[in-house]
Amino acid sequence: MTEDSLGKVLLSADSIRRKVREIGAEISRDYAGKQPVLVGVLNGALVFMADLMRQIEFPLETYMMAASSYDGYESTGTVDIIKPPDVSITSRNVILVEDIVDTGITLDCLLESLQAEKPASLEVCALLDKKSRRQVEVPIKYVGFEIPDEFVVGYGLDYNQQYRNLPYVASMNATAVNGTG
List domains and CATH numbers for the chain. Answer: 13-166 (3.40.50.2020)
102 tagged catalytic = yes
Least confident of 22-26, 58-62, 124-128: 58-62
Q: What is the pTM of this model?
A: 0.91
Distance CA 29, CA 165 (A): 30
Say what the pLDDT of residue 58 is: 95
Active-site residue among 51, 102, 129, 158?
102
**pLDDT for 87-104, tens place per residue?**
999 999 999 999 999 999
Candidates 56, 123, 60, 109; CA nearest to 87 is 60
